[in-house]
Amino acid sequence: MAENSLRVHPKGYARIDSLGKTYAPEGKTVRALDGFSLEIEGGSFAAVVGKSGCGKTTLLKCVAGLEQPDRGKVIFRGGKIGIMFQDPRLFPWLTVKGNLALALPGKEKKSPLLDETLALVGLEGWGGAWPRQLSGGMAQRASLARCLCRKPDLLLLDEPLSALDSFTRTHLRKELEKIWRRLGLTVVLVTHDIEEAVYLGDRVILMDRGKVNREFNVPLRRPRDFRDGSFQKICAAIDSAAGNLP
């Protein structure tokens, strides 16, 4: 694709083009990605659902550049890509702020940006705490802050809420939506939870065996209501499509 055509897209735009990735541990080959293609508009929120092992984490790693695909390419309009995993992965020997600072180049380490980002995720005043003093939800907030302080244009989230209890998960889901809107981020969220996908996504992408099986638009006003008939209808459609996969 020509550079010129990229310029018309706002920051955060990405085009994932026929990605293929095969792992070959001990001689047996596993095709984790098998022609995955998706176009992501800047500022949008895409939610990816699919069975365990269908290639979701591999997809995010390839988009983030942590894994090299065997074929296909990712075209990205913007500066940085941030990725966050299911577990917070904070360094236990650094404070919360120390963990954030590590993600930044030298001159920004002491900027007000760190405090601002902590406030944004609801961890105001917790910069001096040690990771072991945080609850699971707080640790995920810290992990999100570490991603956000680098000011990514595209944020890749790999089941960031799955390990949390349902109260914390419901709360952080709302927070995540607010942060996405406030910062004008582009987000790709991987989740096992269809309701979470429909709550957050502009679209829900059902993935199967390394590629897109189906896309579902979610044309509902935000913030969304789980008890809404139209909300439940979309969930049921995705659930049924997922259930019909081999």
Which listed residue (23, 65, 80, 102) binds ligand ATP by CB under 6 A?
A: 23
User: Please, what sign has the CA dihedral across residues 34, 39, 43, 45?
Assistant: negative
CA distance 191 to 173: 12
When the beta carbons of 29 and 166 are compared against ligand ATP, the nearer one is: 29
Contact between 62 and ligand ATP per CB under 6 A: no
Which listed residue (14, 19, 32, 74) binds ligand ATP by CB under 6 A?
A: 32
Greatest CA separation found in the chain?
53
Strand, helix or coil for residue 209: coil
What is the total count of residues that contact Mg ion (CB under 5 A)?
2
Which listed residue (14, 43, 46, 58) binds ligand ATP by CB under 6 A?
A: 58
For residue 56, the minimal CB distance to ligand ATP (Å) is 4
In the block, tokens 């996504």 appear at 201
CA distance 159 to 85: 6
Q: Which of 125, 166, 162 is nearest to 142 (CA)?
A: 125
Contact between 57 and Mg ion per CB under 5 A: yes
Choose one: 1-9, 55-63, 171-179, 198-206; the region binding ligand ATP (CB under 6 A): 55-63
Contact between 143 and Mg ion per CB under 5 A: no
When the beta carbons of 30 and 236 are compared against ligand ATP, the nearer one is: 30
Site string for Mg ion, 153-192 (x = CB under 5 A): ----------------------------------------
CA distance 246 to 32: 16
For residue 55, the minimal CB distance to Mg ion (Å) is 8
Q: Residue 83 in contact with residue 158, Cβ under 8 Å?
A: yes
Strand, helix or coil for residue 217: strand
CA distance 187 to 164: 20
- Name the H helices within 121-228: 136-148, 166-183, 194-200
For residue 35, the minimal CB distance to Mg ion (Å) is 19
Which listed residue (5, 37, 39, 53) binds ligand ATP by CB under 6 A?
A: 53
Q: Which residues bind Mg ion (CB under 5 A)?
A: 56-57
Q: Which residues bind ligand ATP (CB under 6 A)?
A: 23, 25, 30, 32, 50, 52-58
